[in-house]
Structure 1
Amino acid sequence: MAEAPVPDPMPGAAGDVPETIGTYLRLRGLEPSAAKKRRRRKRSDDDENQPFTRGRDPKGVGDVLAELTRQSGWDSQLAREDLVLQWEQVAGEETARHANPVALGDGILTVQCDSTAWAKNLHLMRAVIVTEIVRRFPEAGVHTVRFVGPDVPSWKWGPRAVPGRGPRDTYG
């Protein structure tokens, strides 16, 4: 038996077509070429610009800002400002109407109250308030709270000041 000739898998391929037309067809991707070689690009793990590598997913604005504040060391300052802005949620609505934070330094939050009675009551509730502050704002660095009464005029200054304790009023 005689063997049947094997048909050419790609009639009109590189052998029948002039070289310039074959090159054109290969470049256009119209006809596969036997001489086509695939080159793989070498991936380096340290190149952050490579697609589909770890850490390339888009990040939210909140995540980017949180990372920026952490790297810049602004966390404690922002926590202190949040504490002052959210004082009503920390201390309660009624308490916030009668007591306002006025200073924060060295781990001591100073709160000025409308009257000495409010200052004394909040002084008795100090542990609860400090616990709430530390729970909500640990980066603020508040260790204790100092409650003071209202500002009162001083009787110790001026040309007619006399020695002694001054008037016996609590101003509140």
Structure 2
Amino acid sequence: MSEDDPLDLARQIANSYRGKGTPGSPGPRRRSRPVKPARPRNEDPSTIADLLGEVVRNQGWADKLDDQRIFTDWARIVGPEVAQHAQIEGFQDAIVQVRASSTAWATQLKLLAPRIVAKLNEALGDGTVTRIEVRGPQAPSWKSGPRSIRGARGPRDTYG
């Protein structure tokens, strides 16, 4: 094909627009403008998470919600084995009340208490927990059940 061929010239122009251009030609130049981030407007919708976060901050509930993380993150912080045998019963004044599944686990938790306090403070923030109170399992109640007697003095009256 010759240089004067109009069809060849049309192909070269089309290829240059597609980015293929003729060898050595840079192709069409495009101006790029920096993209400005959209500013939020009052009429733009907000997510529920943003609205709830604003309510929590305005009401001063952020500290209370941070303290509740001890209940939700307990298994992750202390590990699955300890979490299986130790349930949190309460958290007040930087003291965690824990109920152990057996007396053996209660003893182990009392020995591990300083390490657990350190792990909790590392995960939840320094000074969040100062002490752990470990309680053993609940003893069975003799006050009610099929073998109880009204007005009795407790287990010593049960066996005769």
Q: TM-score scaled by structure 1?
A: 0.51
Instruction: Find out whether 1:118 has 2:110 as its counterpart.
Output: no
Higher RCO structure (Cα 8 Å, ≥6 apart): 1
Runs of 5+ consecutive residues of structure 1 not aligned to the other structure: 1-51, 165-172
What residue in structure 2 maps to residue 142 of structure 1?
A: 129
The Cα shift of 1:94 comes to: 0.4
* Higher alpha-carbon Rg: 1
From the superposition, tell whether residues 68 and 135 of structure 1 become closer, same or farther in structure 2 (CA, over 3 Å).
farther
Instruction: Find out whether 1:161 has 2:157 as its counterpart.
Output: no
Identity of aligned residues (%): 31
**C-alpha separation in 1, matches of 2:116 and 2:131:** 9
Show structure 1 runs of 4+ deviating over 4 A.
Answer: 60-68, 154-158
**C-alpha separation in 2, matches of 1:159 and 1:138:** 51
**C-alpha separation in 2, matches of 1:132 and 1:57:** 42
The Cα shift of 1:128 comes to: 0.9
| Partner AA of 1:160 in structure 2 | A
**C-alpha separation in 2, matches of 1:100 and 1:111:** 6
**C-alpha separation in 2, matches of 1:68 and 1:110:** 30
Indicate the SS of the match to 1:69: helix
Moved more, 138-147 or 75-84: 138-147
From the superposition, tell whether residues 74 and 140 of structure 1 become closer, same or farther in structure 2 (CA, over 3 Å).
farther
| Partner AA of 2:91 in structure 1 | L
Describe the superposition over 1:94-117 as per-residue Cα deviations: whole angstroms up to 9, x where unpaired.
Answer: 011111101111221101010011
The Cα shift of 1:119 comes to: 0.9
Q: Tell me which protein shows more helix as a share of its residues.
A: 2
Q: How many residues align?
A: 109
Q: CA RMSD in A?
A: 3.4
**C-alpha separation in 1, matches of 2:140 and 2:127:** 32
| Partner AA of 2:153 in structure 1 | A
Runs of 5+ consecutive residues of structure 2 not aligned to the other structure: 1-35, 41-45, 145-149
